[in-house]
């Protein structure tokens, strides 16, 4: 008699064409999961998906309601239940308040906040089938304020609160919702806004004295997706080298 093969676990990872999302898709695939890799950058996504076993690339702009509806239709048709949704797609735009036009503000909110709301709402029925998990990617910028991040930081703080709302309401469906707040990682997103001065300042302020890697953030995400985190919901896990723990981080007080 041939042994019965278990149905693979399934996940949707947004912003999966590169950076933290790609590392997360790769790690989940390595755990034997089937991953729908969602991104709006079609060319980069196609190439990235070729390196992730059994992945299903889906081109989608998470800030666009119709695009999200088509993506959710495909996931529903092809997957039949979802064990995890990782809302990772994000954009960064640093500017002083006075220079943050409403258009720039909206652009950040559209992906970082609206995207998390739209994708989670569209895939909740699929998650409910398997009592799955939502992992939203916020940022240390959503936990601590800084200059230049009025839009980015506010969008990420809102993602933290959205996670709590989801945990409380969707818990009744057996769906867990948690948040990972990464510290700095040398991805395309970060390198576009981190000057050499910002990089040096981060090293000073972070107890572990370095940037994190995509893999390190992905490990935290995958833990929260997995059954190992079965009783954890409504939490924010800062994967940040200790940045969130530092209070009075004055360089003059350091050795
Ligand atoms: N890199 C860091 O230092 C850092 C720190 C804290 C939080 N984060 C967060 O981690 C997440 C991933 O960031 P990253 O550093 O890997 O960035 P990245 O720029 O390397 O990757 C982001 C991916 O999201 C995709 N994307 C952007 N807008 C989209 C949209 N509207 N629809 C679909 N796809 C979209 C991009 O095409 C890209 O592939 C983001 O939410 C970011 O805010 C990053």
pLDDT (tens digit per residue) in 80-138: 899 999 999 999 999 999 999 999 999 999 999 999 999 999 999 999 999 999 999 99
Substitution site in 12, 13, 14, 20 for ligand 1 pocket (most atoms within 8 Å of beta carbon): 20
Q: Whose CA is nearest to atom 38 of ligand 1?
A: 15
Domain of residue 42, CATH code: 3.40.50.720
- pLDDT score of 250: 65
Q: Whose CA is nearest to atom 29 of ligand 1?
A: 89
Determine if ligand 1 sits within 6 Å of the CB of residue 87.
no
Determine if ligand 1 sits within 6 Å of the CB of residue 15.
yes
| Residue 254 included in any domain | no
Question: What global pTM score does this model have?
Answer: 0.96
Query: Reduced to 3 states, what is the DSSP secondary structure of residue 39?
Result: strand
Q: Range of 48's domain?
A: 10-240
Helix (H) or strand (E) holding 136: strand 133-137
**Under 8 Å between Cβ of 39 and 89:** yes
Q: Give how many domains the chain has, as a whole number.
A: 1
Query: What are 4-55's pLDDT values in tens digits?
Result: 457 899 999 999 999 999 999 999 999 999 999 999 999 999 999 999 999 9
- In the numeric block, which tokens belong to residue 163? 């996670």
| Residue 252 included in any domain | no
**Under 8 Å between Cβ of 53 and 29:** yes
Q: Which atom of ligand 1 is nearest to the CA of 89?
A: 24
Torsion angle in degrees (nearest 10) through CA of 240, 163, 36, 54: 50
| Residue 15 included in any domain | yes
Of 33, 203, 5, the closest CA to residue 133 belongs to 33
| Residue 1 included in any domain | no
**Under 8 Å between Cβ of 143 and 190:** no
202 labelled catalytic: no
| Residue 134 included in any domain | yes
Distance between CA atoms of residues 150 and 220, nearest Å? 26
Determine if ligand 1 sits within 6 Å of the CB of residue 62.
yes
């Amino acid at each position: 008699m041939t042994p019965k093969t278990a149905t693979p676990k399934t996940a949707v990872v947004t912003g999966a064409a590169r950076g933290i999302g790609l590392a997360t898709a790769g790690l989940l695939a390595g755990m034997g999961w089937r991953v729908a890799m969602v991104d709006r950058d079609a060319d980069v996504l196609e190439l990235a998906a070729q390196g992730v076993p059994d992945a299903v690339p889906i081109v989608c702009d998470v800030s666009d309601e119709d695009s999200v509806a088509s993506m959710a239709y495909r996931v529903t048709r092809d997957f039949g239940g979802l064990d995890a949704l990782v809302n990772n797609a994000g954009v960064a735009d640093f500017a002083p308040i006075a220079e943050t036009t409403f258009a720039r503000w909206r652009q950040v909110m559209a992906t970082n906040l609206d995207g998390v709301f739209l994708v989670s709402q569209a895939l909740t029925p699929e998650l409910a089938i398997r009592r799955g998990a939502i992992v939203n990617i916020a940022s240390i910028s959503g936990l601590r304020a800084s200059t230049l991040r009025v839009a980015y930081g506010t969008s990420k703080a809102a993602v933290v609160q959205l996670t709590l709302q989801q945990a409380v309401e969707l818990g009744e469906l057996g769906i867990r919702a948690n948040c990972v707040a990464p510290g700095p990682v040398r991805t395309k997103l970060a390198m576009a806004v981190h000057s050499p001065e910002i990089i040096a300042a981060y090293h000073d302020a972070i107890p572990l004295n370095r940037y994190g890697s995509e893999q390190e953030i992905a490990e935290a995400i995958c833990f929260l997706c997995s059954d190992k985190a079965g009783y954890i919901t409504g939490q924010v896990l800062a994967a940040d080298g200790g940045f969130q723990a530092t209070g009075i981080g004055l360089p003059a007080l350091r050795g």
